[in-house]
Amino acid sequence: MSDQQPYEPPQPHQPTPTYQPPASAGAENSTDASPAAAVPAYPSAPASIPAPAPGFGAAPATPTAPTYPGAPQAFPGAQPTHPGAQPGYAAPQQAYAGAQPGYPAAHPGYQGHAAAGYGAPGYLGYVPAAPRGASHPDDLTLPLYGATFGQALSRFFKKYATFSGRASRSEYWFVQLFVVLVSAVAVVLGSILLGTSAAQEYNGGGSGVTAGIAVIIFIAMGMFSLAIIVPSLAISWRRLHDANFAGPFWFLSLTSAGALVVLVFTILPSNPQGERFDR
């Protein structure tokens, strides 16, 4: 006897029954009733009504963010942007409205003003000290600034061997001019006299007087040069003091390169710190 079960053919697929809501009482007698008719219809949402405009004296309304798709949304806690929302920022800053004291006035020597000289207010309140000088030509204790040619020569010989103190540029360079003029005149005049005497000797009519005068001029020139060695050294010493250099710098002039250095030192303007050499 076989254990196999008899073959049963498959049953056809039966659709799953769906739930049908019951029809209303009034629709039982109607042949057009359908399930869709039972769904209630809701009215459309009312359109947004704009807020009335604020009256006189009322604060303006805060603008609302747009509601269309993709519009940027306002951040929570954002500050209103209408005027008057933040009185602290709208009011002018009194601390910066007024001018700061000390800044409006332009400093002399800056922004188109003339540069300040000795004793005048300088930039940022700096007042350069004025060199102390003599108020009268007879005052030999201090340098005479703006001395004339005669005053410079008088002080040159009066302070014959004075190495202390100072000498202004006008005193120094007027003396140098005097020495150059005297030397040039003596050399030119002596050379002319010597040439005339030689011509007379060549022609056989010279008496020797012209040659003697030329020799006297050259001897006088030599004596003058010896006489001004000490005062020339002294006034150079004092001129270096006036430029705030020590007097022994003069010995640099004994060399060719050092002579140029000393020349530059004597051209420099007066330095108030040179008063340390006054006695």
pLDDT digits (tens, 9 = 90+) for 53-110: 555 555 555 555 555 566 555 555 555 555 554 555 544 555 444 445 544 444 444 4
pLDDT reported for residue 44:
52
Question: Which long-range contacts link 250-258 to residues 24+ away (Cβ below 8 Å)?
Answer: none
User: What is the amino acid identity at position 238?
Assistant: R
Residue-wise DSSP of 29-42? T-TT--GGGGSPPP
pLDDT reported for residue 195:
87
pTM (two decimals): 0.54
Please tell me the chain's helix, strand, coil percentages from 3-state DSSP, rounded to the nearest 5. Answer: 45, 0, 55
pLDDT reported for residue 255:
92
Cβ contact 170:144 at 8 Å: yes
Give the number of other Cβ atoms within 10 Å of residue 174's Cβ: 20
Cβ contact 134:142 at 8 Å: yes
Task: Note down pLDDT in tens along the chain; length 279 residues.
Answer: 445 556 666 666 556 555 555 554 444 444 444 444 444 545 554 555 555 555 555 555 555 555 556 655 555 555 555 555 455 554 455 544 444 554 444 444 444 444 444 554 544 545 567 788 888 899 999 999 999 999 999 999 999 999 999 999 999 999 999 999 999 999 999 999 988 888 887 777 666 788 889 899 999 999 999 999 999 999 999 999 999 999 999 999 999 999 999 999 999 999 999 999 987
Residues 6+ apart with CB under 8 A from 142: 132, 133, 134, 165, 166, 278
